[in-house]
Every structure is written in structure tokens, then in C-alpha cells.
Amino acid sequence: MLFEFLSTGTMLGITGIAFYQKQNSINETDKILKIADNCGLYKGDEHLRIYRRTRNKKLKFTEYVFMTPLGLSEKDFLDKFDNFKDGLNNKSVRKIDLKKFTELKFNKTLPKQIRDIFDYRQDLKKELEMDYDGMLRIRVFDHGIVNQFNYDNELLKKVSNWKVPIGITHKAFIYHDFDKMQILIVAGMTRYGKTVFLKNATTTLIHNEPDNFTATLIDLKGGLAFARYKDCKQVKALATNKDETLAVLEDIEVELKRRQELFLKNGWEDIGEANWKERHFVIIDEAAEIAGFDQVDRDRAYYLIGEIARIGAGLGFRLIFCTQYPTVDILPRQVKANTSAALCFKLKTSNQSMVVLDKTGAEKLPLGVPGRAIYQSDQERIVQTPFISNAFIDDLIKPHIKINIKSKGEVKNEQQTNTEDEATGKYTTVFEEAGLFNKKPNTKNTRSKK
């Protein structure tokens, strides 16, 4: 009896859904035609006419192909993209969740429970794609982009080498390949996910390229976000203030020159030809803080960052330049000029969006959705970036953390009080490691100010 009832309920649900989907796509055709008319997309008595409608079950979208009136261009339709999108999303819809039929409770509220299943309404968040090839094609996806998705082991498997997960769109997973695009600008208002993305990139690269990834981390918000990486063997330096920032940038400048000479001497055109596997990432969180340096230091820091952008790529350097306030003063000209990729979270103004993306739009990303961003590279896509938790990061980087690194002073003191350990020679390694692996940049470096 129970089984019979459940199957009847389930059948009812299936029939309901099939009916709803059919009704929905018929209504959708009418709606598209109506939106086109209301937007003036007709010529005389020639209107848009439906040619074909197909359903893609796997990617969950319906494609509508329309014949268009003579005299209208691709631009006429693409200009009205927002009108079509808003028009198709302007109401809530009845949504029947089949799973709910298996959760029915057999008591006197049963009729109400069934009614609730059929009456449930959900706001539409359909995603649209539109293109024109003589006919107008509109793909309407059942679901828009999700508001949250987590970085987990499955996601990690989707990237290798120098690829870093950027996020998911309404239909696909997107990554950034630092082998192809060596500089990435990251911008966005406070609390929208910049630092989480930088941690995603750092963790992914430590895990996937442990022997070839080298990082110089510049964290001008006090070093809190990057502190967990400071003892990873891939991290060459962590700078958390002005002097340390200038010192690490000067070190990189020296290394750039050294590599340039070496490449020249050996006739190597670039890092690929040198068959050099190591890539040195300079990751700057909150570059706007540099604007607060005194003028000489600020100019020097911008010059040095500019040099990494200008000549670093061919010499094996990669740059992630991240800022909350993208203005022309904060984004060095050389960085902008040499960058072809940006990850842009919500921004305050269209002017800021212009600085990062050369177009407006980032100011229109939804309020209160951290992780939502525009990723611009060879194409432009709206993505939800993965949320990586600190616990997950710690698990992944644990095997790469150097333990027992002690300062020479600490080691000396212990040597005096612990002859047993001295006899084992344990500290010889510690000394070597401490000397070799000096995380705190030498801020006493002489800087040649330009």
C-alpha cells in the first residue's frame, strides 16, 4: 500500500515535472517573442519567428533558434541582452522537487504536504547565452551560477602544473594557466574574496609543483593571511612591511639581472629555451598600501614591480598583483601594459572597473556575494571562485613545511646546554637550513634609488 502510494506520488511528480517543463519552454518562446517586440526588434510587420527549439538534458538548457526580420543586425539583438535576461527572470516559478515525495509523512497533514510540493515557488535565476549567425540563438540555462562552492580534493584533481582554479560559471569549470598568462591582476572591494583567491593559488601551486614553485609573498596587511605559508619550503620570502617589501623587490631585481646575463651568455631566448623548470611567483596582497610609502620608496617599489612585469615573464617570474583600490595611480603602468588577465570581484565604481577590465561591469556584480567575479583572459566570464578553508590549506601544505628551523642564536643557546644533541651532530643540519633559508628579508640591503 505504502509502495503503491509512493509510486503514485512519484508518477504524479514526474508527470507534473514533464508537464511543467513542456509548458515552461512554450511559455518561454512566447516570452522571448514578446520581449523582442517590446524592445522594438521588428521591421514593419516582420517579427522574430521561432525556427527550432531543442533541449540539452546534460547541460540543462533549452536552445531557441529564431529567424530574424531583414534589416536587423547582430548588434541590435546583442544590445538587448539584458532586456532578454531580465524579462525571462522576472517572476518566481512553481518548482516541483521530486525528492520531497519520498519524504512525505503519512498523517492527517498529508494533503497539505502534497499541496505544498506543488505550490512551492522559486525565484528564477536563469542564465542566458545569445549569439547570431544569420539566425538568433538563445540558450536559456535552467540555473544561474551558484553562490558558493568549496575547494576540495575533486577540484584539486582538475588542475595540474601551473594551472590554478578560477571558479565555475553557470556551465563550466575555469582555470588560469600561469604558463600561458604570466601576470594576473586581482581587484575587488573589501571582503569579496581576493585573499581567499591568493591562498587558493598559493596552495594549489605548492601542492602541484612542490619542486618548481618558488614564492615571494608580499602581504601589506600585516602578514596575517600568508603567515601559514611562511615555513613552506617553496616560500623564499615573506614581506609584511615597507622595508621588507623593498628588500625582497631589490633581491628580485638583482636576480632578474643575473638571469638576463646568464641567458644572454648561453644564447637562451627565454625560460622555456633554458629548459628551466622553476617559476618564481611574486604575490602582492593589497598593493594599494604601496601608495602610502613615502614618495622615493613608492616610486622605487612601483619601478621594481614594473620591471617584474616588463621583463620577468621570459625569465621565469610570475606576478599576481592584488588591490582593493584599483586606480591609475595604484596599478603601475608596466603591470597594466603587460597583463592580459584579470580576476575582478565587485568594485565600487565603473571607473575602477575601467582601470582593471577596460570596461565597466564589475560595479554591477551582485552585492553581498563573496567569490563572484569577472574573469577576463582570452574571453570574459562571470565566475564563482572556490572557497578554500584554512583547515584544507593546512592539510595540503603540511608535507611542505620545514620543521625545526631555528635562528642561530636559539641554536647556540641550546648547544651550550645540550651536549648530547651536539654530539649527535643534529644541529649541523639546522644551522645549514637556517642559513640557507632566511625567510625574513635582509632589510639592510643597500637600495639603489632611482
Establish if 238 lies at the interface with ligand ATP (CB under 6 A): no
Closest CA to 259 of 273, 244, 245, 238: 273
Of the candidate residues 188, 314, 326, 441, the single one contacting ligand ATP (CB under 6 A): 188
Give the shortest CB-323-to-Mg ion separation in angstroms. 10
For ligand ATP, the closer of residues 190 and 418 by Cβ is 190
Give the shortest CB-225-to-ligand ATP separation in angstroms. 7
Which of the listed partners (ligand ATP, Mg ion, none) does 324 bind, with a CB threshold of 5 to 8 Å by partner kind? ligand ATP
Q: Where are the beta strands (DSSP E) in 359-433?
A: 372-376, 380-384
Listed ranges 183-191, 247-255, 295-303, 308-316: which one lies at the site for ligand ATP (CB under 6 A):
183-191
**CA max distance for the chain:** 99
Q: What is the dihedral of CA 331, 230, 203, 147, to 10 degrees?
A: -60
221-227 long-range CB contacts below 8 Å, 24 or more apart?
Answer: 221/195, 221/285, 221/286, 221/289, 225/195, 225/198, 225/199, 225/285, 226/198, 226/202, 226/283, 226/285
Establish if 196 lies at the interface with ligand ATP (CB under 6 A): yes
Of the candidate residues 62, 68, 182, 195, the single one contacting ligand ATP (CB under 6 A): 195
For ligand ATP, the closer of residues 68 and 385 by Cβ is 385
Establish if 194 lies at the interface with ligand ATP (CB under 6 A): yes
For Mg ion, the closer of residues 226 and 317 by Cβ is 226
Residue 46 per-residue DSSP state = B
315 phi and psi angles, rounded to 5 deg: -100, 10
For ligand ATP, the closer of residues 195 and 216 by Cβ is 195
Across the beta sheet with 183-187, what order do the strands follow? 173-177, 163-168, 380-384, 372-376, 342-345, 183-187, 317-323, 279-285, 213-219, 235-239
Using an 8 Å Cβ cutoff, are 362 and 345 in contact?
A: yes
Across the beta sheet with 127-132, what order do the strands follow? 49-56, 61-67, 135-141, 127-132
Q: How far apart are CA 323 and CA 301, in angstroms?
A: 15
Listed ranges 63-71, 127-135, 193-201, 374-382: which one lies at the site for Mg ion (CB under 5 A):
193-201
Establish if 195 lies at the interface with Mg ion (CB under 5 A): yes
Listed ranges 119-127, 142-150, 190-198, 422-430: which one lies at the site for Mg ion (CB under 5 A):
190-198
Q: How many residues bind Mg ion (CB under 5 A)?
A: 2
For ligand ATP, the closer of residues 10 and 390 by Cβ is 390
Listed ranges 50-58, 192-200, 333-341, 366-374: which one lies at the site for Mg ion (CB under 5 A):
192-200
Establish if 374 lies at the interface with ligand ATP (CB under 6 A): no
Using an 8 Å Cβ cutoff, are 63 and 118 in contact?
A: no
Place of cell 581567499: 196
Q: Which of residues 137-156 bind ligand ATP (CB under 6 A)?
A: 148
For ligand ATP, the closer of residues 252 and 362 by Cβ is 362
Q: How many residues bind ligand ATP (CB under 6 A)?
A: 15
Establish if 323 lies at the interface with Mg ion (CB under 5 A): no
Of the candidate residues 55, 191, 257, 440, the single one contacting ligand ATP (CB under 6 A): 191
Which of the listed partners (ligand ATP, Mg ion, none) does 385 bind, with a CB threshold of 5 to 8 Å by partner kind? ligand ATP
Establish if 193 lies at the interface with ligand ATP (CB under 6 A): yes
Q: How many CA atoms lie within 13 A of 392 on its CB side?
A: 17
Q: How far apart are CA 51 and CA 74, in angstroms?
A: 17
Query: What ranges in 148-227 are assigned the alpha helix state H?
Result: 153-157, 194-208
Strand, coil or helix: what is 446? coil
Of the candidate residues 56, 73, 109, 190, the single one contacting ligand ATP (CB under 6 A): 190
Closest CA to 278 of 228, 236, 247: 236
Residues that bind Mg ion (CB under 5 A): 194-195
Q: Note the residues at the interface with ligand ATP (CB under 6 A).
A: 148, 188, 190-196, 324, 370-371, 385-387
